[in-house]
């Protein structure tokens, strides 16, 4: 196996672990609420806390680590993620769980961005889109398998068990990255240079567009289980089957977007966001009928990750 393939595999595995954590609690809301004595709505705010950690922590960590060597940064971010997962696993109260859910995403955004940058540089330029899509596939597999299996494990044991497993997997992923990642110096000229780049109008527009798009997806997916049971009328076990369908759509969307990005990144990005906006507008009506609800879940997965490759290329 070529060295680039080994590196991409290690990054994909690490992204899988990180991606599983983001929505893991969405499949465990009733258990978390019952154990910590809060409402399901309050338990759902732990997903919001994670999202806020990504939004706030991503830029802050990126600026503070602008001159940090890439390999050391990747390992440090994974270890911080492990600490957040461990705090969540052993949280004795709702407030401590929120702290754990904020700690983990502080490394999430920076690590994900770093993984995509490394992926694009270990292959020839004409294959960068597919390399990025390969790493992003770790995120889609997390949605396809990680989140449903974590939710199933939590239902059969305790909601804390998946977070313990996640902590262990994070440490194993860190060890794998330590073994295969090449040493790379930081490419940034420093925090001021990063701020100047981020202040440019095209960059701000890309950030705002991505934030709005993913906010819409995250809002729907966080409460997808109660939405499908209480509005659509599906039984709970049917919802557990539909979650992998969402992940399957994400996997296909990622692969298709990766290939389209290598041909026309700007057109791909515009097309995906337009389709995503239309789907989110139609979702409240689609979930009132079971066949269209299933279609909406599949399409939501298809479009959710299809924005990543073109936005990073």
Query: pTM higher than 0.75 for the full model?
Result: no
Check whether 214 has a pLDDT greater than 70: no
Residues 6+ apart with CB under 8 A from 129: 258, 259, 261, 262, 265, 309, 310, 313
The predicted-structure confidence for 58-110, as pLDDT tens digits, reads as follows 777 877 777 788 888 999 999 999 999 999 999 999 999 999 998 888 888 78
Please say whether the beta carbons of 310 and 230 come within 8 A.
no
The three-point CA angle 59-258-57 to 5° equals 10
Q: What does the pLDDT average to over 120-127?
A: 76
Residue with structure tokens 């479009």?
A: 303
* pLDDT score for 129: 74
Question: How does pLDDT run across 10-45, given as a tens digit for each residue?
Answer: 898 899 998 888 778 877 888 898 899 999 888 888
Q: If you average pLDDT over residues 192-211, what whole number do you get?
A: 63
Q: Which residue has the higher pLDDT, 51 or 311?
A: 51
Give the span between the Cα atoms of 225 and 227, in whole angstroms.
5
């Amino acid at each position: 196996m070529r060295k680039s393939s080994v590196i991409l595999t290690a990054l994909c595995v690490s992204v899988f672990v990180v991606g599983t954590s983001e929505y893991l609690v969405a499949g465990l809301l009733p258990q978390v609420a019952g154990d910590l004595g809060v409402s399901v709505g309050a338990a759902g705010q732990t997903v919001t806390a994670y999202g806020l950690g990504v939004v706030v922590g991503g830029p802050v960590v990126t600026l503070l680590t602008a001159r940090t060597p890439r390999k050391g940064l990747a390992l440090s971010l994974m270890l911080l993620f492990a600490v957040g997962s461990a705090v969540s696993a052993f949280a004795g109260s709702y407030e401590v769980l929120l702290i754990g859910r904020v700690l983990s995403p502080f490394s999430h955004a920076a690590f994900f961005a770093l993984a995509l940058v490394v992926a694009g540089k270990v292959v020839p330029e004409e294959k960068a889109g597919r390399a990025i899509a390969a790493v992003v596939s770790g995120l889609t597999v997390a949605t396809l398998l990680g989140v449903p299996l974590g939710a199933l494990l939590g239902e059969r044991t305790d909601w804390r068990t998946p977070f313990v497993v996640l902590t262990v997997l994070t440490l194993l992923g860190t060890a794998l990255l330590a073994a295969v990642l090449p040493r790379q110096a930081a490419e940034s000229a420093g925090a001021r240079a990063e701020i100047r780049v981020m202040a440019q109008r095209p960059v701000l527009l890309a950030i705002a567009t991505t934030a709005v798009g993913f906010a819409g997806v995250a809002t729907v997916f966080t409460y997808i289980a109660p939405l499908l049971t209480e509005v659509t009328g599906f039984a709970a076990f049917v919802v557990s089957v539909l979650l992998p369908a969402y992940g399957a759509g994400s996997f296909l969307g990622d692969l298709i977007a990766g290939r389209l990005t290598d041909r026309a990144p700007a057109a791909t990005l515009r097309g995906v966001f337009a389709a995503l906006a239309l789907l989110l507008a139609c979702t409240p009506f689609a979930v009132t009928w079971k066949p269209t609800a299933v279609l909406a879940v599949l399409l939501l997965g298809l479009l959710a990750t299809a924005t990543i490759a073109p936005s990073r290329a």
